[in-house]
Structures are given as structure tokens and as C-alpha cells.
């Protein structure tokens, strides 16, 4: 590592000592930037890295709401506006009890680079709340979303900051958030949120985009390494929005998905999972994945146990798609996956693999599709939604899907070309970081010390 990078990392660790996830994300990126940073002394002269790791703005706020028993609840809301140098801040909202400032900052930091890779004019941001949507009634969800927007509305706008969904935030929540924004502003500003319903300005294929995009990226990655999806056995961590549409596309490409999971455990069906049943359980009924066994009693269910490898990663597979949450895969899990024959990993989730596990995969020749490149299809299609909103027009499913495929293929090409240029082999993690950094840093340099 260069001295400059080392000193910025040390200062960042000192200043943000209790932000584990944020420091992990920063370390992963900075550690790969040595070859670029050393080529140009202007980075150090303009304190570019110090500016890059400091958010432009963080907003935290109180979110009071009333539950179905008439009891007042109070949650904490966040919006991190990390870097606006290439476009309005853009990134999802996460509602999950684990949400804290470290998680918000890591997600917003990752988003800067991801959004740059899409080639579209969007900056990096993220937000959310420690609100737990599980077990809440529709009315409670609406009440929470309205209170959250009462404050958030001051800080967003279609030219300023455009939130969307993430864990715990899907079309239902975006609908309630949009309704409240429209009521307060007394204007129909469609481009202020993405992931909207199709009836009021949403884009066709946005729902499918992250999962489909992951598989388009991986198709290119496999092709470049003389491999493909045909006949491969796939396991997927998660059973939410990203997991479901990754499963759909990989099946279309001839693979067999044998396992999917939620935070409680995983189902294993060796003849291949019935995705329509998963959609019913997760998208319509909002139940636990174990419910699958009611229709398919011959399938198996393995419960997750505290401190043990998540059940879904103990199943033999050729390809593994972590599509749930961060740090799902540590070194021990990675070792078992390699032993079980996994040759490719596609990160649908943000930062699902910790740094030790990434290094282990790379050392063992596993093709790793890194999150900030491979799951960029969601935000890219959000940017296409903004574009359609600005035009007051819409494209067909096929048009959006084709653009998405083109964007993901270009992102893979950028990762591979950069890895080739710097002699990094199959290290697409470094390829993605360097390619994205070049774009963001050029925009920051051009705009002076701001």
C-alpha cells in the first residue's frame, strides 16, 4: 500500500473507530487503489482520499409513530448524502432493526462507486431506519412511512437526492412514502423516488432489475472464462427482491436452483425450487421460507444456528449467489464453499463477503462478481426510471431490459479491462474499485476543493 493510502486509512480508523462496517468498506476500496494513486501526486495534494471518505452530509432524525395498540413508538431515521459529484445522491432506504450509522455509511460509500460504474449521472447516498417491518400491520407500515417522510422530504428532490428501496423497503413502502411526499409538497414530482408502482411513474423491469442484472453480469464473467450457467447447481442466500429475480433469470439460463433462505434457515429441494411458490410465500403472504414445506413435504429445511455457518452455504453447489445481507460469508464459510465445489460467487447483496473470504476466493481461482459492479442493475434501472419520469414517458419491458443488459455487460467489460490493464487477473473486485474510482475522482478534481 502507498504511504498516502496507509495514512488516510489510519486517520479514517481513528475518526470512525466504532464504525466496523464502514471501515471494512473503506479498507476494501483503498487497499486496491495503490496502482492508480501512485501514478498521480495530485490525489495527495488535493486530499482527494480524505475528501472521498468523509460524507458530504449525514442527516439523522426522530421518527415517531403510533402502533396498533395505540402505543407511541420512536425510531431513528438516517440519510447519508455521501458524494454528489456525478449526479444527485442516489441510493436505497433500508428498514431493519440492525440499521445504524456505520451500516448507513458503508452502504452509501459503496453506492458512490456502484453508481459511477453504471455510467449514468447519479451520486452516492443511502438511508433508512432501525424500524423492524416484520410482523407489522399494513397500517403500522403506512404510519411509519408517513412519519419518516415528514422529515425526509426536506432533504430530497429529483435534482438533489433520490431514494429507493433496499432491505425491508419494496413497492408497498415506496407507495406510502411517495403519497406523503406528494401531499406535503402539493406537486407530482415523480422523479423524487424510484421503485414506484407502475400506475404512478414506476419503470417496467425495475422490480426484476437487480436480480436480472446480477445474472447478466455473471453471464459475461463466465463467458470471459469459458464457462456458462447451463446445467449448473445454484444456491441462493436470501429470498427477497434480489434473490427471487436472480433465481428467475439463472433458471432461464438453464441452471438449477436447489436452495434459498431467509434469516431463520434454508430450504433445499434437489429437483429444483418452485419459484412461483417462493413468490407467493415472500411477495404476497410475507411468511417465513419454511412455509415451502407445506406444499413440498419432500423438500428439506435446515435452521440457522447461532455462531455456525449459515445453512444455505453448507449445501453443495457450483455457483453461489449471496443475496441477503452484509458479511454473510466469512473465511470459514468460504473454505467450506470451495471444498464443496463452488467455482463462481455472485454478490447480489452489498458486501456479503468479508475481506478474508474475498482473498480466499481469489487465491483459489473462484470467479467473484463484486457487489458494487454485479448488483448495480437495480440502481441503473432506477436511473432509467428517473429518465422516463423526466421525459414524462415510458419504455416497454423489453426496452428497459435490453438497456439493463447493455449496462451490465459494459460494467463487466470495465472491470475486466481495468483488471487486465493493471495485471490483476480475475480480481474483478480491484477492477471494479479502480474503474469507479477513476471516474469519481476525475469529477471531484474537476470541481475543485469542495
| Residue ranges of the binding site for NAD(+) | 210, 241
| 241 touches, from ligand NDP, ligand 2IT, none (C-beta below 5 to 8 Å by class) | ligand NDP
The x, y and z cell numbers of residue 91, run together, are: 441510493
Q: Using an 8 Å Cβ cutoff, are 109 and 326 in contact?
A: no
| 91 touches, from ligand NDP, ligand 2IT, none (C-beta below 5 to 8 Å by class) | ligand 2IT
Please name which of 124, 160, 127 lies closest in space to residue 145, comparing C-alpha atoms: 127
**Choice between 248 and 441, CB closer to ligand NDP:** 248
Q: Using an 8 Å Cβ cutoff, are 312 and 300 in contact?
A: no
| 211 touches, from ligand NDP, ligand 2IT, none (C-beta below 5 to 8 Å by class) | none
| 262 touches, from ligand 2IT, ligand NDP, none (C-beta below 5 to 8 Å by class) | ligand NDP
* Active-site pick, 34, 45, 126, 402: 126
The set of residues, in sequence order, having a beta carbon less than 8 Å from that of 167 and lying 6+ positions away, is 94, 95, 96, 240, 325
Please report whether residue 194 would count as binding ligand 2IT according to CB under 6 A: yes
**Choice between 194 and 248, CB closer to ligand 2IT:** 194
Q: Using an 8 Å Cβ cutoff, are 348 and 243 in contact?
A: yes
Least separation in angstroms between residue 201's CB and ligand NDP is 17
Q: Using an 8 Å Cβ cutoff, are 181 and 148 in contact?
A: no
Least separation in angstroms between residue 103's CB and ligand 2IT is 12
The set of residues, in sequence order, having a beta carbon less than 8 Å from that of 306 and lying 6+ positions away, is none
Interatomic CA distance for residues 424 and 443, integer angstroms: 25
**Choice between 92 and 431, CB closer to ligand 2IT:** 92
Binding to ligand 2IT by CB under 6 A, coded x per residue (else -) over 69-108, reads ---------------------xxx----------------
Rounded (to 5) percent helix, strand, coil in the chain: 50, 15, 35
Which residue's beta carbon is nearest to the bound ligand NDP? 240
Least separation in angstroms between residue 384's CB and ligand 2IT is 10
DSSP 8-state secondary structure symbol assigned to residue 393: -
| 90 touches, from ligand 2IT, ligand NDP, none (C-beta below 5 to 8 Å by class) | ligand 2IT
Largest CA-CA distance found in the chain, in angstroms, rounded = 64
Interatomic CA distance for residues 273 and 259, integer angstroms: 7
Question: Residues 127 to 186: which contact ligand 2IT by CB under 6 A?
Answer: 164, 166
Determine the length of the chain: 450
Residues that bind ligand NDP (CB under 6 A): 96, 98, 165-168, 170, 210, 238-243, 262-264, 323-325, 348-350, 375, 378
Among 378, 408, 419, 424, binds ligand 2IT (CB under 6 A): 378
Least separation in angstroms between residue 167's CB and ligand NDP is 4
Whether 126 is catalytic is: yes
Please report whether residue 441 would count as binding ligand 2IT according to CB under 6 A: no
**Choice between 157 and 170, CB closer to ligand NDP:** 170
Please report whether residue 261 would count as binding ligand 2IT according to CB under 6 A: no
Residue 397 buriedness (CB in 10 A; 0-12 / 13-18 / 19+):
exposed
Spacing of C-alpha 43 from chain mean position: 28
Query: Other C-beta atoms within 10 Å of 239: how many?
Result: 28
| 324 touches, from ligand 2IT, ligand NDP, none (C-beta below 5 to 8 Å by class) | ligand NDP
Q: What order of strands is seen across the sheet that includes strand 265-268?
A: 300-303, 265-268, 256-261, 233-237, 319-322, 344-346, 367-369
**Choice between 20 and 51, CB closer to ligand NDP:** 20
**Catalytic residue IDs:** 126
Question: Which residues lie near ligand 2IT (CB under 6 A)?
Answer: 90-92, 114, 164, 166, 194, 350, 378-379, 382
Amino acid at each position: 500500500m502507498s504511504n498516502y493510502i496507509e495514512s488516510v486509512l489510519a486517520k479514517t480508523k481513528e475518526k470512525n473507530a466504532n464504525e466496523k462496517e464502514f471501515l471494512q468498506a473503506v479498507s476494501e476500496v483503498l487497499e486496491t487503489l495503490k496502482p492508480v494513486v501512485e501514478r498521480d501526486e495530485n490525489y495527495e495534494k488535493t486530499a482527494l482520499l480524505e475528501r472521498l471518505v468523509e460524507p458530504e452530509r449525514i442527516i439523522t432524525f426522530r421518527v415517531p409513530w403510533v402502533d396498533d395498540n395505540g402505543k407511541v413508538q420512536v425510531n431513528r431515521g438516517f440519510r447519508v448524502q455521501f458524494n454528489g459529484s456525478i449526479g444527485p445522491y442516489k441510493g436505497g432506504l433500508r428498514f431493519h432493526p440492525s440499521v445504524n450509522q456505520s451500516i448507513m455509511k458503508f452502504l452509501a460509500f459503496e453506492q458512490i462507486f456502484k453508481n459511477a460504474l453504471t455510467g449514468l449521472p447519479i451520486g452516492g447516498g443511502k438511508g433508512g431506519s432501525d424500524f423492524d417491518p416484520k410482523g407489522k400491520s399494513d397500517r403500522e407500515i403506512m404510519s411509519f412511512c408517513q412519519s419518516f417522510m415528514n422529515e425526509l422530504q426536506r432533504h430530497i428532490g429529483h435534482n438533489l437526492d433520490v431514494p429507493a428501496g433496499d432491505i425491508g423497503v419494496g413497492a408497498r413502502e415506496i407507495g406510502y412514502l411517495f403519497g406523503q411526499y406528494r401531499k406535503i409538497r402539493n406537486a407530482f414530482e415523480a422523479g423524487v423516488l424510484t421503485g414506484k408502482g407502475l400506475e404512478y411513474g414506476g419503470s417496467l423491469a425495475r422490480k426484476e432489475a437487480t436480480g436480472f442484472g446480477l445474472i447478466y453480469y455473471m453471464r459475461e464473467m463466465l463467458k470471459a472464462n469459458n464457462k456458462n450457467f447451463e446445467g449448473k447447481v445454484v444456491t441462493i442466500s436470501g429470498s427477497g427482491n434480489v434473490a427471487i429475480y436472480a433465481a428467475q433469470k439463472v433458471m432461464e439460463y438453464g441452471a438449477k436452483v436447489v436452495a434459498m433462505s431467509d434469516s431463520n434457515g434454508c430450504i433445499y429441494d434437489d429437483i429444483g425450487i418452485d419459484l412461483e411458490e417462493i413468490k407467493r410465500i415472500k411477495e404476497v403472504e410475507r411468511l417465513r421460507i419454511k412455509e415451502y414445506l407445506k406444499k413440498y413435504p419432500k423438500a428439506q429445511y435446515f435452521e440457522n444456528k447461532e455462531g455456525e455457518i449459515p445453512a444455505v452455504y453448507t449445501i453443495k453447489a457450483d455457483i453461489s449467489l449471496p443475496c441477503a445481507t452484509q458479511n454473510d460469508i466469512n473465511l470459514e464459510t468460504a473454505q467450506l464453499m470451495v471444498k464443496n465445489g463452488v467455482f463462481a460467487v455472485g454478490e447480489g447483496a452489498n458486501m456479503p463477503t468479508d475481506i478474508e473470504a474475498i482473498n480466499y476466493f481469489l487465491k483459489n481461482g473462484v470467479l467473484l462478481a463484486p457487489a458494487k459492479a454485479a448488483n448495480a442493475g437495480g440502481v441503473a434501472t432506477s436511473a432509467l426510471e428517473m429518465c422516463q419520469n423526466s421525459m414524462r414517458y415510458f419504455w416497454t419491458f423489453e426496452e428497459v431490459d435490453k438497456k439493463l443488459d447493455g449496462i451490465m455487460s459494459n460494467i463487466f467489460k470495465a472491470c475486466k479491462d481495468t483488471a487486465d490493464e493493471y495485471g490483476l487477473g480475475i480480481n474483478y473486485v480491484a477492477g471494479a474499485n479502480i474503474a469507479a474510482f477513476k471516474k469519481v475522482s476525475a469529477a471531484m478534481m474537476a470541481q475543485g476543493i469542495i
